[in-house]
Amino acid sequence: MANTLRIGIAGLGNVGVGVLDIIRKHEALLADRAGVAIAVTAVSARDKAKDRGHDLAGLKWFDDPVGLAKSPGIDVFVELMGGEGDPAKSAVEAAIASGKHVITANKALLAHHGAALARAAEAKGVALNFEASVAGGIPIIKALREGLAGNRVTKLFGIMNGTCNYILTKMANEGRSFKEVLKEAQDLGYAEADPTFDIGGFDTAHKLAVVTALAFGTEVNLKAIEIEGIEAITLDDIRNASDMGYKIKLLGVAVSHAEGVEQRVHPTLVPKGSPVSDTDGVFNAVVVKGDFAGDLMLEGRGAGAHPTASAVLSDIIDIARGNLRPAFGIPAAKLKPYRQAPNKAHEGGYYVALELVDRPGAVAAIARILADQRISIESIVQRGKPSKDLQRETATFILITHDTLETSIRAAISKIEQDGHVASKPRLIRIERL
């Protein structure tokens, strides 16, 4: 390799500028650690005139990121544009075809096209690195691909979206509504004007798809993930959970079974004091269960310009050192076809909030319906005094069930609704004992 590793950056948003910040501030330190000088030589972005706090006069400018990807003036193409399709996809494919190493922070691109891009990169003998795509500055990709290479991972789970974690934390700590805290998160820049991608669980699902492939050696399969967001979580749910010794977190969970792989994203009651329960605010945390290393938890800033840029730099230094590894830990040809695990008995039970019509025998009827589905109740609590809802007297009951099948609890809830025992749609949240 020449004395300078030449970097081309496509996308000069917060993370792209963060990469420039680190390279220019730690120029000598990075050269010592990488063994060669690291220099940004070319960039591409939508607005050339925008002030980004850096003098870009000495850098070659490309209006078209595909042109940058093909440029003979770079060795490494860093894709920071985002999005599952073009221009990111075309640019990354062009860089690989041109024999350029690729670094991306684009979890959507990897979740949809990761296996194909990995095969293409291996065929050309170039790196496809993506440490920054999951959990910002937390080195979860290296942990799975390298640090735990001697382990068979059986389960991983974690908080992978800072926006959702911020909202749930604020609701719990300050007693404020979902709507109010979401507006604050948008004002602070933690949530987009259209927050659906975050609060709907889709961002977490993209990240989970990537780490699942790494952890279990399977092809990436985003479509297999059960996804539920936090939009329906109420302040009452958070208070009830706290009173019962739990916190509510949005988790991404992947479990390897003999029959296949289980992936799910959903709000979860986690016991206070358990892993990830004390990870609050915009922080992320991922727990990995290895058969020899045991449980490993990594926690830190899951987003932000400099934490994410720090992860990009770790990938750049790997390339400078010649540390080229298969993108998903094993050769892409050896990635197993994804096999969906059948419905399993859920470990940890369920939290069920019911607005029961207050009439004789209602609670007994609920108990019978649950018993018919072989669901046992761990605890039942009535909250507050009966109130009028939809012209009927109602009372709020909170149930905690023992371990059961998802199909069983769904069938029971459907029967409860059909029989007219509730005045509003029941709220159901999984419990993970962890």
Q: Looking at the predicted structure, is the pLDDT value of residue 358 above 80? A: no
pLDDT single digits (tens) 281-308: 999 999 999 999 999 999 999 888 999 9
Question: Domain range for residue 367?
Answer: 345-431
3-state helix vs strand vs coil in the chain, percent to 5: 40, 30, 35
Domain assignment present for residue 317? The answer is no
Clarify whether residues 266 and 164 are in a common domain.
Answer: yes
Interatomic CA distance for residues 228 and 270, integer angstroms: 16
Choose one of 287, 312, 333: the last residue of a domain: 333
Please state whether the peptide bond connecting residue 326 to the residue before it is cis, i.e. omega within 30 degrees of 0.
Answer: no
For residue 315, CA distances in Å to 34, 78, 131, 413 come to 11, 10, 7, 48
Clarify whether residues 87 and 158 are in a common domain.
Answer: no
Per-chain mean pLDDT for the chain: 93
Q: Looking at the predicted structure, is the pLDDT value of residue 226 above 80? A: yes
Domain assignment present for residue 165? The answer is yes
Segment 354-376 mean pLDDT: 89
| pLDDT at residue number 324 | 92
Could you tell me the pLDDT band of residue 154, with boundaries at 50, 70 and 90? very high
Exposed, middle or buried by CB within 10 Å (0-12, 13-18, 19+), for 25?
A: exposed
Domain assignment present for residue 71? The answer is yes
Annotated catalytic residue within 155, 207, 247, 249: 207
| pLDDT at residue number 46 | 93
pTM metric for this prediction: 0.93
Tokens of 104: 């991306």
pLDDT single digits (tens) 105-147: 999 999 999 999 999 999 999 999 999 999 999 999 999 999 9
- Amino acid at position 33, single letter: R
Clarify whether residues 197 and 256 are in a common domain.
Answer: yes
Clarify whether residues 253 and 164 are in a common domain.
Answer: yes
Segment 378-394 mean pLDDT: 68
Clarify whether residues 206 and 127 are in a common domain.
Answer: no
Clarify whether residues 257 and 402 are in a common domain.
Answer: no
Segment 396-405 mean pLDDT: 91
Interatomic CA distance for residues 14 and 98, integer angstroms: 27
Domain assignment present for residue 81? The answer is yes
| pLDDT at residue number 303 | 85
Q: Looking at the predicted structure, is the pLDDT value of residue 388 above 80? A: no
Query: 275 or 215, which is more confident?
Result: 215
| pLDDT at residue number 345 | 64
Alpha carbon distance, N-terminus to C-terminus of the chain: 46
Interatomic CA distance for residues 402 and 197, integer angstroms: 32
| pLDDT at residue number 387 | 55
CATH number at residue 221: 3.30.360.10
Domain assignment present for residue 313? The answer is no
SS3 call for 212: helix
Clarify whether residues 169 and 132 are in a common domain.
Answer: no
Segment 91-101 mean pLDDT: 98
pLDDT single digits (tens) 317-326: 999 999 999 9
Q: Looking at the predicted structure, is the pLDDT value of residue 309 above 80? A: yes
| pLDDT at residue number 392 | 57
Interatomic CA distance for residues 82 and 98, integer angstroms: 21
Clarify whether residues 17 and 69 are in a common domain.
Answer: yes
Could you tell me the pLDDT band of residue 65, with boundaries at 50, 70 and 90? very high
Could you tell me the pLDDT band of residue 433, with boundaries at 50, 70 and 90? confident
Query: 255 or 347, which is more confident?
Result: 255
Domain assignment present for residue 244? The answer is yes
Window from 57-66, 189-198, 256-265 with minimum mean pLDDT: 189-198
| pLDDT at residue number 256 | 94
Domain assignment present for residue 178? The answer is yes
Clarify whether residues 111 and 184 are in a common domain.
Answer: no
Q: Looking at the predicted structure, is the pLDDT value of residue 386 above 90? A: no
CATH number at residue 378: 3.30.70.260
Residue 207 annotated to the active site: yes
Q: Tell me the chain's radius of gyration from C-alpha atoms.
A: 24
In sequence order, the β-bridge partners of residue 290 are 153, 294
Segment 327-352 mean pLDDT: 88
Domain assignment present for residue 316? The answer is no
| pLDDT at residue number 391 | 52
Clarify whether residues 167 and 297 are in a common domain.
Answer: yes
The rounded percent of the chain whose pLDDT value lies above 70 is 96
Q: Looking at the predicted structure, is the pLDDT value of residue 389 above 70? A: no
What DSSP assignment string belongs to 350-410?
EEEEEEEE--TTHHHHHHHHHHHTT--EEEEEEEEEEEEETTEEEEEEEEEE-SEEHHHHH
Nearest 5°: phi and psi at 303? -160, -175
pLDDT single digits (tens) 9-50: 999 999 999 999 999 999 999 999 999 999 999 999 999 989
Clarify whether residues 282 and 384 are in a common domain.
Answer: no
Clarify whether residues 18 and 133 are in a common domain.
Answer: yes
Q: Indicate the number of domains in the chain.
A: 3
Give the distance, in angstroms, between the CA of residue 139 and the centroid of all CA atoms in the same chain. 14
Window from 64-73, 155-164, 187-196, 302-311 with minimum mean pLDDT: 187-196
CATH number at residue 96: 3.40.50.720
